[in-house]
Structure 1
Amino acid sequence: MLTRRLLLASAGPALAGCASSTPAAPVTVAAPLAPAPAPSSATAVTASPEQVVADAAGFDTFLTGLRADARRAGVSPATVQRALSGIRPLARVLELDRKQPEGVLSWESYRDRIVSPARIENGRRAYAENRALLEGMQSRYGVSPRVVVAIWGMETNYGANTGGFNVIEALATLAWEGRRASFFKGELIAALRIIDAGHVTPEGMRGSWAGAMGHPQFMPTSFERLAVDFDGDGRKDIWGSRADALGSIGNYLARSGWQADKGWALEARPPAGFDIERVDTETRRPIAEWARLGWRRADGSPLPASDTQASLAVPTRSAGQVFLGLPNLRVIRRYNSPMNYGLAVGLLADRVA
């Protein structure tokens, strides 16, 4: 890791530290960051997000190599010059990258915070306002519109909080800082290719401190694989086009194996003797077999006589709520892997509908 002086220079007002509106991990489709060591007194920062780390020589050396790597990756010299001109490492990004979580919510607290009356009501409004678009997305990809809306609500509060960081500057900070530098450098090169392709300007490429972008919070490499030009204007604009943003979420789920009409989960009541601390979440059985083993719906009614495969889905830090996870729960968790995230998306989707 480079040695640097952390001299802070104010460059603007404070911004939200993370694009995600949920207490879950902020990055939608990037691997979670490894725990970081606590910052030393030489590196501790309390700056606003727009404050920068002043180590001009070290960062400029990094940028020189980055420009060469970007050109080798096929990015035009004009885009390299425009996107990297004048950028500085952001102290707030480093602070957030090192920040340790202060605690983990119970499932019930997380569920009630996420699947709140306000989020449900806003989701119903968003669904109604975009009904024609969502029906078109469903027709093309076969994905449930209410699940797409729920993910949109989880990630950015239906587009209200897509992140205030310049993605190029944030990713350059993380690629230079040293911890997971290789990962973030790959994302940075991908972000430059996206700009070079004309999908967004450097100024318009805004997102979270970790580089998750736009309404769906795609990382740049996921954008390259999965973003779509749903409105047909020649650009994949997940920042300004709801059609492209929601269509891209639908495409992501479809490409991850979404099965129409297969559902996401059933809240279930276990048989006597069930130990939530020793649960097997890997074994899949037809729902009818779970019924023969004594499982019932949460309200005590029988499970459906179905051959759909299901596995136990137990929320993290649950006080007892248990689900039978259906095929599409696994698909939702490919978008963002924590079990509580996947279950909250499903519950929100049901209430939005």
Structure 2
Amino acid sequence: MTIIASVSKKSSLLIMLLAWAISSAQAHSFAADKPIPASPAGWHASPDTLSLPAHSNYESSLSALLEACRRKGYEIEPLLRDDRFEIYEGIGDRFRKSAERKSINLEEYKKILGFDDKRDRGADFIRKHADQLQKAQEKYGIPKYVIAAIIGIESDFGQNIGSYNPFNAYVSMYAVDYRADFAKAQLLELLDFTQRNSIDVFELKSSYAGAMSFAQFIPYSLNKWFVGDDIFDMDNNIMSVANYLAYFQQRTNSLRTSVLRYNPSGLYADAVMDLAKEVELATEMSATH
């Protein structure tokens, strides 16, 4: 009985293995006869989902953002497929470790900003753009030294516009769920800006916060307050900073409070106002020599 049972078990196992092999071969043959979808390698898209293996952890977020943009009339799926698209996974930490949050006092904050260097170079910026700064001051009522100070702190007088891409920055913020509502709103503003101006969004550079140009405007501010068409024209940036500050000064009757609307940090506002005073003094001293 033991020998018969053993043979019976072996026969059953052989039958099961044979059935599995036939089934596997049929499945492989069927798959080989199916046409390959015409889509980028690694991608599978449907009306409800969007899958990208490199960013599989964010599939749900990307699908939700894709649909939110579609409801507003913007199709971002081609942008998400673009080789230049990437997710900055540590973007939340960039905000959490900003200079304003790391600094414990104004002097430490100024060191991080390179305040002394900006003070020394501010007078040259004033001389180089004297005519446009004067026009902005007269038109908007904002002191030219404050305009220069903001451009100095924001972009080192136009020398540093950031190394990030604004589309990637806002999609990343949404994907990692850091200020997601803000990121979605700014992304829609960015798409409006690039579509209206026929700009390839991946050609733009920004800060990790998605701020662009020498004035470092986020997309909403670009659409509302930027003066001129070329965001990398310094004359336009000078006018735009003045236009922005004038808008809030009319509503708050305070220049410092207007500067706080640029960056809601008391350290930032104090640094801007101090740099404006230092640059004004340096400019006056250089004019007397």
TM-score by length of 1: 0.57
Alignment partners' CA distance in 1, 2:145 and 2:97? 34
Q: Secondary structure at the match of 2:202?
A: coil
Is contact 2:245-2:259 (8 Å) kept?
yes
In structure 2, the residue matched to 1:182 is 181
Question: Is 1:330 the equivalent of 2:244?
Answer: no
Q: Secondary structure at the match of 2:86?
A: coil
Alignment partners' CA distance in 2, 1:331 and 1:344? 14
Alignment partners' CA distance in 2, 1:94 and 1:112? 23
Superposition deviation, residue 95 in structure 1:
4.4
Q: What aligned pairs does 1:196-345 form with structure 2 within 5 A after superposition?
A: 196-198=195-197, 200-229=199-228, 235=229, 237-238=230-231, 240-257=232-249, 327-345=254-272
Q: What aligned pairs does 1:1-353 form with structure 2 within 5 A after superposition?
A: 55-75=54-74, 77=75, 80=76, 83-86=79-82, 87-97=85-95, 99=97, 103-111=102-110, 114=113, 116-198=115-197, 200-229=199-228, 235=229, 237-238=230-231, 240-257=232-249, 327-353=254-280
Is contact 1:115-1:347 (8 Å) kept?
no
Is contact 1:155-1:216 (8 Å) kept?
yes
Is contact 2:55-2:87 (8 Å) kept?
no
Structure 1 residues 161-188: Cα deviation after superposition (integer angstroms, max 9, x where no partner): 2110011011101111123212211111
Superposition deviation, residue 81 in structure 1:
5.4
Please identify runs of 4+ aligned residues in structure 1 that moved more than 6 A: none
Q: Secondary structure at the match of 2:220?
A: helix
Structure 1 residues 293-338: Cα deviation after superposition (integer angstroms, max 9, x where no partner): xxxxxxxxxxxxxxxxxxxxxxxxxxxxxxxxx9322222222222
Superposition deviation, residue 247 in structure 1:
1.3
Residue ranges of structure 2 left out of the alignment (5+ in a row)? 1-51, 281-289
Q: Secondary structure at the match of 2:214?
A: coil
Say what the alpha-carbon RMSD is for the aligned residues: 2.8
Q: Secondary structure at the match of 1:210?
A: coil
Q: Secondary structure at the match of 1:161?
A: coil
Superposition deviation, residue 132 in structure 1:
1.4
TM-score by length of 2: 0.68
Superposition deviation, residue 199 in structure 1:
6.5
Structure 1 residues 176-213: Cα deviation after superposition (integer angstroms, max 9, x where no partner): 11232122111111111111111643133211112122
Is contact 2:105-2:267 (8 Å) kept?
no
Is contact 1:207-1:214 (8 Å) kept?
yes
The one-letter code sitting in structure 1 at the alignment partner of 2:233 is S
